[in-house]
Amino acid sequence: EIVLTQSPDFQSVTPKEKVTITCRASQSIGDTLHWYQQKPDQSPKLLIKYASQSISGVPSRFSGSGSGTLFTLTINSLEAEDAAMYYCHQSSSLPFTFGGGTKVEIK
């Protein structure tokens, strides 16, 4: 099973700051890494697919990068509405797995 380790677990950030979340895979997964945002009492929402591909309707301040075992989700100029949990997910091999999540709080 491929283990995805996210860091940090928690980040408290002021508006307009830049946020960087890392997801490390226990083995190489190419670019089969996707990012989701989950706000309180809501279902997850796809932010980035295939490590760096943007999703229609998602604000351009969200971007992804990486390949192999190390991936990054970046939120440029954080807004109050970005307070949420963020999860990475790999679809390289079964079982599909998720990272433990990163909670982003607005100061």
Interface residue list for other proteins (CB under 8 A): 32, 34, 36, 43-46, 49-50, 55, 87, 89, 91, 94-101
Determine how β-strand 102-106 pairs with β-strand 97-98.
unpaired
Residue 32 Cβ, how far from other proteins at the closest point, in Å? Answer: 7
Give Rg (Cα) of the chain: 13
Whichever of 17 and 101 has its CB closer to other proteins, that residue is: 101
Residue 19 Cβ, how far from other proteins at the closest point, in Å? Answer: 19
- Please list the alpha-helical segments (H only) found in 1-107: none
Identify whether the C-beta of residue 73 lies closer than 8 Å to the C-beta of residue 86: yes
Whichever of 32 and 82 has its CB closer to other proteins, that residue is: 32
